[in-house]
């Protein structure tokens, strides 16, 4: 082995598209395991727990365990816990975020929170908006799991955590601490979980604006795969729009694997 490497791997558009596995994703991960290359699946999705994410991957034939998964919900809870152990938290989000907050031994409250933490919430309504704004304007720190305005779904794109956050920001007049990609906060956690240094880590993803920007900001090498959002047709415009240049661009996961194995 020439150099120790590890991988931080995006999920939607890189490992799967909705409920359909990206071509050769199962073989790609199986070969990482066989070659002893440490890897972590990193997702901005705050609605699902690591267990649910791992089961989704395994259901498509991709080897995964909960310990291989790190979510923006976990990163948000960890961030708050580092800032203030046992903090009082008002949560706007779904099961994945609630579980992460509780596992970090933070106190979920409805009134007088130290923090408002917000992710995707498909039951978001005016009452939740009003409460979040009231708490933030009263001094609670506003934490957002990720800035994604849209989420891919089987019925096209749906509003994401960033869209909910836009309403909260407009009404509260406060900008959030953003945790998920392309923030350096989630990347620092992921690199630490791999037990490697940034220069040993490759960040793999299909989105230059989130995955590649996050990797470069964290001091990692980056590989853009043309398996999801970015295609050969829109490659130039996507890179230009993101303002970053990946270290590698690969049409498929087998080509990426071949290039990575040379790095070892």
For residue range 45-65, list pLDDT tens digits in order.
Answer: 999 999 999 999 999 999 999
Asked if pLDDT for residue 234 goes beyond 90, the answer is no
| 57 falls within a domain | no
Domain boundary among 178, 194, 218: 178
Please report whether residue 56 resides in a domain.
Answer: no
Shared-domain flag, residues 196 and 241: yes
pLDDT of res. 233 = 86
Where is the domain boundary, 159, 178, 197?
178
Residue that finishes a domain, picked among 136, 153, 178: 178
Is 37 inside a domain boundary? yes
* Residue 264 clears pLDDT 70, i.e. is over it: no
Which residues span the domain enclosing 116?
Answer: 74-178
DSSP state for residue 209 in the 8-state scheme:
I
Contact 50, 71 (CB under 8 A): yes
Statement: residue 2 has pLDDT above 60:
no
pLDDT at res. 242: 87
Per-residue b or e along 212-230, where b marks 16 or more CB atoms closer than 10 Å to that residue's CB: bbbbbbbebbbbbbbbbbb
> Cβ distance 3 to 264 under 8 Å?
yes
Supply the pLDDT for residue 1: 41
What is the separation of C-alpha 262 from the centre of its chain, rounded to a whole number of angstroms?
27
- Give the H/E segment covering residue 80: helix 72-83
The closest alpha carbon to 142, from 165, 123, 161, 125, belongs to 165
> Is position 189 within any domain?
yes
pLDDT of 153-198, one tens digit each?
A: 667 778 999 999 999 999 999 999 999 999 999 999 999 999 999 9
The span from the CA of 119 to the CA of 257, in Å, is 33
**Same-domain pairing of 154 and 237:** no
pTM score: 0.93
Catalytic positions = 10, 12
127 within some domain: yes
Q: Is the pLDDT of residue 260 over 80?
A: yes
What is d(CA 110, CA 89) in angstroms, rounded to the nearest whole number? 8
Same domain membership, residue 199 and residue 120: no
Of 29, 34, 64, nearest to 49 by C-alpha is 64
Q: Minimal CA–CA distance to 164: which of 151, 152, 155, 153?
A: 151
């Amino acid at each position: 082995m020439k150099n120790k490497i590890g991988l931080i791997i995006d999920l939607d558009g890189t490992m799967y598209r909705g409920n359909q596995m990206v071509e050769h994703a199962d073989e790609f991960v199986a070969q990482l395991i066989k070659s002893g290359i440490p890897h972590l699946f990193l997702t901005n999705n705050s609605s699902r727990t690591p267990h649910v994410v791992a089961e989704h991957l395994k259901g498509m034939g991709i080897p995964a365990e909960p310990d291989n998964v790190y979510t923006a919900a976990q990163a948000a809870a960890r961030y708050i816990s580092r800032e203030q152990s046992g903090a009082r938290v008002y949560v706007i989000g779904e099961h994945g975020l609630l579980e992460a907050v509780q596992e970090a031994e933070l106190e979920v409250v409805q009134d007088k929170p130290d923090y408002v933490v917000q992710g995707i919430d498909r039951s978001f309504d005016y009452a939740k908006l009003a409460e979040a704004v009231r708490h933030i304007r009263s001094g609670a720190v506003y934490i957002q799991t990720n800035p994604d305005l849209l989420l891919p779904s089987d019925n096209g794109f749906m509003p994401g955590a960033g869209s909910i956050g836009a309403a909260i920001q407009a009404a509260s007049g406060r900008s959030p601490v953003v945790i998920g990609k392309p923030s350096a906060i989630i990347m620092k956690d992921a690199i630490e979980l791999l037990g490697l240094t940034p220069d040993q880590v490759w960040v793999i993803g299909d989105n230059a604006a989130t995955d590649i920007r996050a990797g470069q900001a964290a001091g990692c090498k980056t590989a853009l795969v043309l398996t999801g959002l970015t295609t050969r047709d829109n490659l130039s415009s996507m890179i230009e729009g993101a303002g970053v240049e990946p270290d590698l661009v690969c049409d498929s996961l087998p080509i990426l694997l071949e290039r990575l194995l040379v790095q070892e």
